[in-house]
Structure 1
Amino acid sequence: MPERKILAIIQARMGSTRLPGKILADIGGKPMLCRVVERARRAACLDGVLVATTTRAEDDAVEWLCRERGYVCTRGHPTDVLDRYYQAARQAAADVVVRLTADCPMIDPAVIDQVVGAFLAADPPVDFAANRLPDDRTFPIGLDTEVCTFAALARAWSEAGEPYQREHVMPYLYEAPGRFRIFLVRSARDHSHLRWTVDTAEDLELARRIYAHFGGRDDFTWGEVLALVEREPSLAAINAHVQQRTLGDQA
């Protein structure tokens, strides 16, 4: 089989309802978006990392930051995120698309490699792989990695009709048994109670404390973060009360 171009697309926008502008919030001396991009770039499986923001004026700041840092950035539909992904992947001639989000500063390149590796190794081949599904999660919230073929993404783009399917990109691929072949990657232990994404001020405080512990570096692993929060449970308590959004909720 010829080599396939594997592209990570990081969705990023300034208009969060719970924490506006969060993706440019400072974490250890760098904007959160930079933390996510630079950690994702360390994944050995990826041929490229792209930031996909919206055409809204408020997201000019995202494009400016990407230009300043040398990141590839595309702009697309503000609410039809599936279209934003499809257009970005099509223009980049991606064969495999990895979906990441800009509010996950602890995303681990090893987890990206693990999920993509499972996707590529699946026999028979699969259309979609992830390390979480809405009702089945073992990794901490904030390590979410979803992978699909461009062909599957294109079919979803063509067929998905519900607003939540357009907003959350991948539901059409996994919610109907038999529609696509899917594979779920699980952690050896259940860490689904841990919250390492950033949707609220409490989430941001935890992220800042974790980065401060590691001296502002961003090459730490999720295993190191896990060891830290297990050793210092007061850290996990900072945002333990925050409810995770579900499909249909606004980010």
Structure 2
Amino acid sequence: MTGIVIQARKGSTRLPNKMVLPFYKEKGVLELLFEKLTTHYSTEKIVLATTINTIDDELIAIAQKFNIKTYRGSEDNVLERFIKAATQFNFKTIIRICADNPFLDIEHISQFISEIEHNNLDYVSYKLPNGLPTIKSHLGLFTEAVSLKALLSVSKSTSLSLYQEHVTNYIYTHPESYKIQLLEMPNYMANTENIRLTLDTIEDFKLEQDLYKKMKSKSVETLVNYLKNNQVLLEKMKHEISKHSK
């Protein structure tokens, strides 16, 4: 079975508590993400993977409000957290979601599930123009799919903290060892290198909060085209991209 595992914690260095800060109508980004996912997927297939730190008790409470399953594990070893969460809930493949992406498109998730399950793959993502998966961008729009088998292989192959923190990095940087499929992004995603919709800083938060109010009910394509035609917002996003490498 393929499950959706959401990575979230309150102890962010750059923007503490970003998961629960009021983002839209007093709701935090994690709660908004749960609302979005549970309209499309059974809660049986959704797991919040957070940490054993007591400050993350609040995230557990939010998940429970939506009847979403939870797993608590290492704060630093995110790879181990994903492996143990998937193992506990019998997920053979995982849709990995970083909760700090309030504009996450969920329409593509079914495509990723189909690709990884039917073709017996280890990793599926959309591909950037530079050939890298979209997790290496600031877009904040798309997920990635990965097999539990591949994650277990990574944990046995390396103990470097880089790969424990960035769960799938080892897989797509060692393509000779894994069955990887990088799909072409939708046509409307051309020329989007200056779009930043991931949420890491207070500057991101303020910009995306205003944008969310305007675009909440719009499609991702409409959102992207709006941003392409808004030079003021693009310049602000470009400035944040220059400050934070991926």
TM-score range, shorter chain: 0.7 to 0.9
Given candidates 56, 61, 69, the residue that maps to 1:59 is 56
Is the partner of 2:63 in helix, strand or coil? Answer: helix
Q: CA RMSD in A?
A: 2.4
* Amino acid corresponding to residue 102 of structure 2 in structure 1: P
Q: Tell me what 1:198 maps to.
A: 199
Gapped regions of structure 1 (runs ≥ 5)? 247-251
* Amino acid corresponding to residue 21 of structure 2 in structure 1: A
Q: Tell me what 2:76 maps to.
A: 79
Given candidates 6, 10, 14, the residue that maps to 1:14 is 10
> Are residues 65 and 47 of structure 1, via their aligned partners in 2, closer, same or farther at CA, if it must alter by over 3 Å?
closer
Q: Tell me what 1:126 maps to.
A: 121
Q: What is the CA-CA distance between 1:47 and the residue it aligns to?
A: 6.1
Q: What is the CA-CA distance between 1:121 and the residue it aligns to?
A: 4.7
1:221-236 correspondence runs (5 A): 221-236=219-234
Is the partner of 1:10 in helix, strand or coil? Answer: strand
Is the partner of 2:177 in helix, strand or coil? Answer: coil
Q: What is the CA-CA distance between 1:209 and the residue it aligns to?
A: 1.5
* Amino acid corresponding to residue 28 of structure 2 in structure 1: P
Identical aligned residues as a percent = 26
TM-score by length of 1: 0.84
Q: Tell me what 2:213 maps to.
A: 212
Once structures 1 and 2 are overlaid, which stretch shifts more, 189-198 or 41-50?
A: 41-50
Q: How big is each residue's C-alpha offset from its partner over 1:141-172, in whole Å with a ceiling of 9 and x where there is no partner?
A: 10231111222222223333211101111112
1:115-154 correspondence runs (5 A): 115-122=112-119, 125-132=120-127, 136=132, 141-154=139-152
How many residues are treated as equivalent by the alignment? 237
The answer (yes or no) to whether the contact 1:97–1:149 under 8 Å persists in 2 is yes
> Are residues 100 and 121 of structure 1, via their aligned partners in 2, closer, same or farther at CA, if it must alter by over 3 Å?
same
CA distance in 1, matches of 2:65, 2:132: 39
Q: How big is each residue's C-alpha offset from its partner over 1:33-66, in whole Å with a ceiling of 9 and x where there is no partner?
A: 1122233345569961211110012111211222
Given candidates 105, 109, 118, the residue that maps to 2:106 is 109
* Amino acid corresponding to residue 210 of structure 1 in structure 2: L
Gapped regions of structure 2 (runs ≥ 5)? none
The answer (yes or no) to whether the contact 2:125–2:133 under 8 Å persists in 1 is no
CA distance in 1, matches of 2:157, 2:78: 14
The answer (yes or no) to whether the contact 1:141–1:195 under 8 Å persists in 2 is yes
TM-score by length of 2: 0.86
Q: How big is each residue's C-alpha offset from its partner over 1:57-76, in whole Å with a ceiling of 9 and x where there is no partner?
A: 21112112222333222110
Pairing 1:161–2:159 present: yes
Q: Which has the higher contact order (CA 8 A, sep 6+)?
A: 1
Is the partner of 1:136 in helix, strand or coil? Answer: coil
